[in-house]
Chains A and B, each alone.
Chain A
């Protein structure tokens, strides 16, 4: 395990290059370029929160950042899960050519998504400062923790799915379906209070996504520190995925090349 991570570190120039070239090629020849990663979620948020705030009779200015935070973190998760399951398949040219630890390819998928996420949080902070200046304070420092925590959860998960995705190419479409289902039972758009009123507390309390989102939402929207429970749930999820990815990797890492 330590040996493996060392190899990942040795290849750092390579995967940072892959990540950057992913970002570059993504916005090549477009006018707004990387600003699209900011504009896209922001536009969708305005639209959705306008409609939802009318339907649910909630205050637009405070509801919009709730949706925006949910939306960008959700987008990140979907990219990591669905894109992650394709990481090895996409990198077949490199895998057949050079022996690097395979996890660098899922790391690249995750990092690309993470950088997009970081850019997209910009307007969220701006909005929160303008709409809810009373929340601004020391608690905001805690929000930065969401990035490493998401990375710790999603890198092993993407790696695990990539191992499976190499063998079963049905995985990506199946995963998009699963993610769609999870989306409806997670507090992405709908406020947690709506779940609780419906007696669906379990969907919130045992949902790792809720706890991760709280790291961002509690400081920005409520001016409070995320609870210890939030962190424990998030890190626990990361630990479980890491163990699973290690188990899978130990068995199949070497055979992946046969399936490409």
Chain B
């Protein structure tokens, strides 16, 4: 039995402060030379505080929170990009993430080539990607622009392409960060259908966004984060309610 689920118990994550202060050999040496009293203390950033959450098969979870609340950090932690400092993190299932759009695209290559490249980045074989290409091209619906270099694309077109690729390569856990809003209304309808079909295949979706309308349309469960802490977890409508009250 292989049931997709995400389970975090008491997860803490610290950004290593050394990454920001010791940028060079010089600062490392000067740190040794400067007396302890005068030393500036840069503490590790406690980005996720004691997060415990269970997400199971077919759930669509929306992450709410102000800028810097830890939404992206949580997504990247689930994606396995950030090492947690304590607690337990179990992710069962293949993760597909769409965290930052422009990253991983080659600006000089055409849209079609980039479909191929991104597929390889996600670990697929060239053979599989060739088969999927037409399907992705059709879904992204970029017309003749698919054969233009990516650098000529608008942000919305980039979103469409990236979304089309990420959702067609298949996976069990889909992580989306803040990107969904950039598509136009027409594309949004398609995206919603696509996400609905993903749910039918009992895949997990975790979405971080400030677009509350999209959020309530796509998700059924809402999680509110504040300063790295989980302050609310419940049905999406009441989560949005809670978030709005909390914000003002």
A and B associate in one complex: yes
- Partner-B contacts on A (CB < 8 A): 10-11, 13-14, 17, 21, 25, 93-94, 96-100, 167-170, 254-255, 257-259
**Given the complex of chains A and B, what is the CA–CA distance between A17 and B115 in angstroms?**
13
Residues of A within 8 A of B24 (CB): 168-170
A-B contact pairs, 23 of them (CB 8 A): A10-B123, A13-B126, A17-B117, A17-B120, A21-B117, A94-B121, A96-B81, A96-B103, A97-B100, A97-B104, A98-B97, A98-B104, A98-B121, A98-B122, A99-B79, A99-B81, A100-B123, A168-B24, A168-B25, A170-B24, A170-B25, A255-B19, A257-B81
The answer, yes or no, to whether B83 is at the interface (CB within 8 Å) is yes
**Given the complex of chains A and B, what is the CA–CA distance between A97 and B98 in angstroms?**
8
Query: Which residue of the partner chain, among B23, B99, B108, contacts A169 with CB atoms under 8 Å?
Result: B23
Is B103 a contact partner of A93 (Cβ separation < 8 A)?
yes
The answer, yes or no, to whether B124 is at the interface (CB within 8 Å) is yes
Task: State how many angstroms separate the Cβ of B169 from the closest Cβ of chain A.
Answer: 12
Residues of A within 8 A of B134 (CB): none
Please, which residue of chain A has its CB at the minimum distance from the CB of B15? A258
- Besides A14-B121, A96-B81, 5 new A-B residue pairs in contact (Cβ under 8 A), listed by A number: A94-B121, A97-B104, A99-B79, A258-B15, A259-B19
Taking CB atoms and an 8 Å cut-off, the chain B residues in 128-178 that contact chain A are none
Please, which residue of chain A has its CB at the minimum distance from the CB of B96? A98
Number of A-B contacts (CB under 8 A): 59
**Given the complex of chains A and B, what is the CA–CA distance between A254 and B84 in angstroms?**
10
Is A99 a contact partner of B80 (Cβ separation < 8 A)?
yes
Is B83 a contact partner of A97 (Cβ separation < 8 A)?
no
Please, which residue of chain A has its CB at the minimum distance from the CB of B105? A93
Query: Interface size bucket, B side?
Result: 20 to 34
Task: State how many angstroms separate the Cβ of A92 from the closest Cβ of chain B.
Answer: 8
Is B104 a contact partner of A258 (Cβ separation < 8 A)?
no
**Given the complex of chains A and B, what is the CA–CA distance between A25 and B108 in angstroms?**
10
Residues of B within 8 A of A93 (CB): 103-104
**Given the complex of chains A and B, what is the CA–CA distance between A11 and B26 in angstroms?**
37
The answer, yes or no, to whether B9 is at the interface (CB within 8 Å) is no
The answer, yes or no, to whether B125 is at the interface (CB within 8 Å) is yes
Known: A255-B16, A255-B83, A257-B82. A97 touches B121 (CB 8 A): yes
Residues of A within 8 A of B80 (CB): 99
Residues of A within 8 A of B25 (CB): 168, 170
Query: Which residue of the partner chain, among A97, A99, A100, A169, contacts B103 with CB atoms under 8 Å?
Result: A97
**Given the complex of chains A and B, what is the CA–CA distance between A151 and B188 in angstroms?**
48
The 4 closest A-B pairs by CB, nearest first: A254-B83, A93-B103, A258-B19, A13-B120
